[in-house]
Structure formats: C-alpha cells, structure tokens
C-alpha cells in the first residue's frame, strides 16, 4: 500500500511539473509574439479619438470582421468603452464620422473609397473617415 501511495505521489508530481512547464512555455511564447494584442490593450488604438468626438453623439463603426469571433466583439466593446459618451453604431456609415476597423487597412480603404468618404486619421489598423454628407 505504501508503494502505491509513493507511485501515485510521484505521478502527481510529474504531471504537475509537466503542466507548469507547458504554462511557462505558453506564457513565454505569448510574450514574444508581437503580432497579437492582449485583450486589455484592444482599446488603446482608439485613444485620442475622444477629442475628435467631443460634441458628437453617434459615430459609425464599420467592420468586416466576423462578429461571431469573441476577439472582434471585444474590439468593438473596447472601442465603445474608450469613446464614451459617444455611441458607436455598428456597421452604419451614414454618420459624419465613421471608424473603420477591418481585417486589413487595404479592405478599409476600399470600403472608404466605395462609400465616397475621406480618410482622416489612421492608428494601429483602424481608420477614421469623414462623411461630408453625414448626419
């Protein structure tokens, strides 16, 4: 019985060490990956826009990202959080200001040109466009 307890304890220790090593390796890999954005940083690219929208009640927010993806939804929610009290109207472009948060800057520029808007400011993958006919 004592040998069985020792074997169980050694096995449990080995599994714990293996899991700890995997977690450490994953943390190091994420820290070294400069292409991903941590969830707590998703809203930083919208900083500074609150000055543009100081007296603007509603702004359009256009995206071609899959809104079934939690990261895309988190991006929109962070944008809304950073720009309060301005309301972001998802995928509506009839407003004077429209934020384009697309899968690539090229896709955003194509949509801006197609809609006849004027790109005004770009910041970390998002583009702010002006709609001269907007409300």
- Structure confidence by residue, pLDDT tens digits, 79-113: 998 898 999 999 999 999 999 999 999 999 999 99
d(CA 129, CA 13): 57
Contact 111, 91 (CB under 8 A): no
**Nearest C-alpha neighbor of 50 from the set 105, 119, 8, 97:** 97
pLDDT given for residue 107 in this prediction: 93
d(CA 35, CA 88): 26
pLDDT for 29 beyond 80 = no
Which residues is 60 bridged to in the sheet? 89, 98
For the segment 32-44, the average pLDDT, to the nearest whole number, is: 61
């Amino acid at each position: 019985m004592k040998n069985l307890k020792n074997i169980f304890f050694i096995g449990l220790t080995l599994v714990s060490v293996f899991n700890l090593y995997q977690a450490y390796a994953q943390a190091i890999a994420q820290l070294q990956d400069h292409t991903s954005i941590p969830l707590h940083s998703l809203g930083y690219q919208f900083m500074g826009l609150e000055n543009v929208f100081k007296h603007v009640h509603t702004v359009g927010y256009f995206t071609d990202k899959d809104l079934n993806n939690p990261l895309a939804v988190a991006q929109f929610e962070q944008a809304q959080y950073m720009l309060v009290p301005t309301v972001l109207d998802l995928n509506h472009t009839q407003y004077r200001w429209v934020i384009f948060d697309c899968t690539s800057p090229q896709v955003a520029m194509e949509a801006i040109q197609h809609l006849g808007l004027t790109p005004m400011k770009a910041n970390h993958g998002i583009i702010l466009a002006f709609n001269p006919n907007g409300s």
